[in-house]
Structure 1
Amino acid sequence: MSLTDTDAGALPAPVAPDCPSLPPWDSEETLNLRWPGEPGALRAELPGQGSPRGADLLDGVHTWGPIPTPAGTFELVPVRLGRDLPLVHGWMNDPEIAAFWELAGPRDRTERHLRAQLDGDGRSVPCLGLLDGTALSYWEIYRADLDPLAHHYPALPHDTGVHLLIGGAAHRGRGLGSALLTAVAALVMERRRACTRVVAEPDLRNTPSVTAFLRAGFRCSGEVDLPGKRAALMIRDRDRDQDRHRAQVR
């Protein structure tokens, strides 16, 4: 799956970064991707919605709380099908979003995509992104080290991945994507102390998305061939965040 941001802000038309091609990665040498527990043992009720308990694999996304951004107060709220399916379905049928997410079509197609995560083992949590209480974006926070993505790059334990889209054309092109990515990366590093990297794999053709990641402090580690796309492997390191913090307090 790819990420859609359409956030070029006031910058000139972005040019796709020159990412190095990663050498073929031997998945035999990567992490053991088999989760040792039974998926059923990880399930618990989130408020108002039967779904996996993200606290086991993602340290309770539903408890992460709000964070200030230049655009307002942002918060991730796990999806509830009965409440959120019509909104997410509408976004998935926006042509700009559908071009990369490939989930346009009837509502049950979006429902199956969401339910596969909600009824899974908790390694991916679909969320709405609320800005000052208004749902403006959709996110998937996932364990990249337990995802098939880990077969394509040298994953580290607790690598945390993000997919996102900005819903509604009126909210795009305002710099929101990079501002919200910066906030989510900060939340991940604060709430998931075992995580040292936030990763993403936007489609190389989605230049505004790649640009938003770069503006949010991610680096392009390389290009990877994934099912259905050639992607830029974007990484934001905890060490880089710490260096930035030290520079700010000097």
Structure 2
Amino acid sequence: MGHPLPRQTSSADCGTEDTVALEGPTLRKPPARHDSPPGRLPSAAPPTDLLDGVARWRQADTAAGLFRLRPVRLEADLPLLHGWMNDAAVAAFWELAGPASRTEAHVAAQLEGDGRSVPCLGLLDGVPMSYWELYRADLDPLARYCRVLPHDTGVHLLIGGARDRGRGLGTTLLGAVARLVLEHRPRCARVLAEPDVHNHPSVAAFLAAGFRYCEEVALPAKRAALMVRDRAAP
């Protein structure tokens, strides 16, 4: 069951209230190992780490506490992730509600891939409270629908527990993660996100975290607001 290629809705050059911060993947199926955007030749032997060692990144000192990203350990973390994905507020955007096997397949596809997408837990003062996917946007199907620069890094996220929503954490952690990406990925000039244009609180959180609204893009599963955090942003 395929979708016709959507038409990009803007020709803009994008080179240059609190939130639950729920944003799922642009395309539900992760790209195959050598599924590169048009015009790019896949490497014969792609490296296993395309995101500069997320597991080794430092923790960030934020107004909410010490925050760090830790790559998912599927067997240990699956019960927690499965519970989050079956929260109604999360399921509305991630569409992974149902049996644990559905969440497992989604995460395992990234863990077993070539390293272009890294699923992580976000730990605040040592407590898992959010789920993140950092991905190479230039190697992702997103690059088929809008202009993406080499080494651009994309972000998907969700705040897991209801008690952590409505506290301003979305904006705080988005800013922290954007800074971590740019600090640890020197070749990356921009951090991207593509929240649904109708998810106004999420778009507002990205703007408050230093992202700028770039353009509206038609993707197979949604109309997205392409948000960009430039390296030069404060």
The TM-score with structure 2 as length reference comes to: 0.83
Where does residue 38 of structure 1 map in the other structure? 45
2:11 to 12, 19, 23: 23
The 4+ residue runs of structure 1 with deviation greater than 2 A are: 30-35
Alpha-carbon distance in 2 for matches of 1:114, 1:228? 19
CA contact (8 A) 2:136 2:153 kept: yes
1:74 to 67, 78, 89: 67
2:115 to 105, 122, 130: 122
Where does residue 110 of structure 1 map in the other structure? 103
Where does residue 165 of structure 1 map in the other structure? 158
Unaligned 5+ residue runs, structure 2?
Answer: 1-7, 14-36
What amino acid is the match of 2:45? E
CA contact (8 A) 1:223 1:233 kept: yes
CA contact (8 A) 1:31 1:157 kept: no
Alpha-carbon distance in 1 for matches of 2:157, 2:39? 27
Where does residue 134 of structure 1 map in the other structure? 127
Where does residue 192 of structure 2 map in the other structure? 199
User: How large is the Cα RMSD of the aligned pairs?
Assistant: 1.8
1:85 to 78, 87, 92: 78
Deviation at 1:37, TM superposition (A): 3.6
Number of residue pairs the alignment of both structures matches: 204
- Pair 1:184-2:180 in alignment: no
Alpha-carbon distance in 1 for matches of 2:119, 2:59? 17
SS in 2 for 1:227: coil
The superposition leaves residues 46-105 of structure 1 with CA deviations (integer Å, 9 ceiling, x where unpaired) of: xxxxxxx4xx31000000020101100000000011110010111000000100100001
What amino acid is the match of 1:36? S
Deviation at 1:34, TM superposition (A): 4.1
Alpha-carbon distance in 2 for matches of 1:205, 1:104? 21
What amino acid is the match of 1:35? P
Aligned ranges for residues 228-247 of structure 1 at < 5 Å?
228-240=221-233, 244=234
| Bigger-Rg structure (1/2) | 1
1:63 to 42, 56, 60: 56
The TM-score with structure 1 as length reference comes to: 0.78
What amino acid is the match of 1:23? S
Unaligned 5+ residue runs, structure 1?
Answer: 1-19, 43-52, 245-250
What amino acid is the match of 2:43? P
Deviation at 1:21, TM superposition (A): 4.3
Choose between structure 1 and 2: higher helix proportion. Answer: 1
Relative to structure 1, the CA distance from residue 33 to residue 125 in structure 2 (aligned partners, 3 Å threshold; closer, same or farther) is farther
Alpha-carbon distance in 1 for matches of 2:57, 2:39? 27
The superposition leaves residues 120-157 of structure 1 with CA deviations (integer Å, 9 ceiling, x where unpaired) of: 01000000000000000000000000000011111100
Where does residue 212 of structure 1 map in the other structure? 205
Deviation at 1:206, TM superposition (A): 1.2
- Identity level (%): 64
CA contact (8 A) 1:33 1:145 kept: no
